Amino acid sequence: MTQHQVAGSLPKIIRNHENRYEGDLRHWFATVMNHATNLRGPYHNFRHMFHVTYLCHDALAWHQQFEPGRISGHEGRVLMVSAVTHDVDHTNRAGNDDINIERATAFLKAHALKEDQLILPLIIRTIRRATRYPYVVPSDELTQIEQILRDADMSQALDPVWIQEVIFGLGQEFGKSPVAMLQLQEVFLGNVKFSTEWARLRFPTEAIDAKRAEARDLLHLAVEPIQTA
């Protein structure tokens, strides 16, 4: 990846130590920690929400270094609040994702700060357009911050702990076995296409191909002893 100062520790991101966006996330962090119902979910949990938050902050840092002025502090706040809350109160079950969007929307409306009331419709719109799955809005029709949120959300499949998070965690939510989830990775990873230059640099094609190869190898190792027994 093109060299830049990567996102800092979670407390520094929450306090906006590097002034990447307007305000800070202390209210939203505390509210999620104390009121969200899905913190220990198999996949759509605390780690996922704040992993996406970390990556969105990293994207802001990249833009401020290489494309200064393209994303305003105001837009940065919309992005960061959207990242923190995009899957809050997720049902942790497969099914109609509109239900999860509505649950996140209800959480936002119930807990929004006074200073976030004016941007609340934009936060909700950003979450709905960028993260509702299967995707309804094509990536090239998303705004810049919506593209960043979608790229950050999708990149969980390339994380070093993807086996625990995706194969076991998301598999549990889907009701699929680990072997079935490994089989799905070939198609899913083959269709991963990032919209932003930040994400393409952070997660290059070589990384996606390596993850596909890793999934194929793990699938082979998982089924070979059974087939030869």
- What pLDDT was estimated at residue 8? 75
Collect all residues with Cβ–Cβ distance below 8 Å to 23 and sequence separation of at least 6: 16, 77, 115
* Helix 120-131 with 144-154: angle, nearest 10 deg: 50
Alpha-carbon distance of 108 to 128, in angstroms, equals 13
Report the pLDDT averaged over residues 174-198.
97
Alpha-carbon distance of 36 to 86, in angstroms, equals 12
Alpha-carbon distance of 53 to 8, in angstroms, equals 11
- What pLDDT was estimated at residue 228? 63
Q: Domain 10-228: which CATH class?
A: mainly alpha
pLDDT digits (tens, 9 = 90+) for 12-40: 999 999 999 999 999 999 999 999 999 99
pLDDT digits (tens, 9 = 90+) for 114-166: 989 999 999 999 999 999 999 999 999 999 999 999 999 999 999 999 999 99
Copy the structure tokens of residue 164.
């625990």
Copy the structure tokens of residue 113.
């700060």
The residue ranges of every structural domain in the chain are 10-228
DSSP class of residue 137 equals S
Copy the structure tokens of residue 107.
């959480």
pLDDT digits (tens, 9 = 90+) for 88-105: 999 999 999 999 999 999
Cβ neighbours of 116 (radius 10 Å): 18
